[in-house]
Amino acid sequence: MMESRLIDQIAIRPFVDADAAHVRELFIRVNELLAPPHLKEDFERYIARSLEEEIDQVADYYGKRGGGFWVAVEGSRIVGMFGLESSSIPGSMELRRMYVVADARRRGIARKMLAFAEAECRRRNVARIELSTSELQTEALALYRRSGYHEVREEVALNASNKTIGGGIRRFHFTKTL
């Protein structure tokens, strides 16, 4: 019962320009926490590239890709974020940038954001959702598996982009038919 009340206090709404600094800070903070010591420089480059190519222009970035970006708020505080963009697979969308601030984890916020993303895909008549995450995000991996996502492949990401750090980190790709 307690967890349900905590989740009910979280609202999910579309990103607005006034959210930009908070989204930027959340992205940086989560990725700094994920960075293993031996990949610190790789993560710094990844963060800088992702800020420039995506996060610092989030509304335009996701808008041009037929998607959207949302934030999870508790009161006036942004505690989570995620985006959807068209996938290279017809009839699919890709879930991206699903992050929850460290001190708000284990309260069902990610589960609520995931359910919202799935509902948004259904609303858009999209039959399938795709996503990927790294081996460093063990809680995310468990969430996706528990939520009915099927692993379709894994790869070792050698090259960096705004979607991967590179550095030899293993990435897991999932899909779910809605």
Q: What is the pTM of this model?
A: 0.91
Looking at residue 125, what DSSP letter applies?
A: T
Q: What is the pLDDT of residue 38?
A: 87
The three-point CA angle 108-111-93 to 5° equals: 160
What ranges make up the beta strands (E) of the chain?
A: 10-14, 68-74, 77-86, 92-100, 128-134, 150-157, 169-177
Which domain does 53 fall in, by range? 2-130
In-domain check, residue 70 = yes
In-domain check, residue 73 = yes
Residue 153 sits at φ, ψ, to 5 deg, of: -170, 165
Q: Where residue 175 falls among pLDDT bands split at 50, 70, 90?
A: very high
Contact 166, 42 (CB under 8 A): yes
In-domain check, residue 151 = no
Q: What tokens appear for 142 in the block?
A: 């468990």
Contact 92, 55 (CB under 8 A): no
Beta-carbon contacts of 124 under 8 Å, excluding residues fewer than 6 positions away, are 93
The string of pLDDT tens digits covering residues 5-50 is 456 789 999 999 999 999 999 999 999 999 999 889 989 999 999 9
6 or 61, higher pLDDT: 61
**What CATH number is given to the structural domain containing 121?**
3.40.630.30
Q: Among the listed ranges 5-19, 47-61, 73-87, which one has the minimum average pLDDT value?
A: 5-19
Q: State the total domains in the chain.
A: 1
The string of pLDDT tens digits covering residues 85-102 is 999 888 999 999 999 999
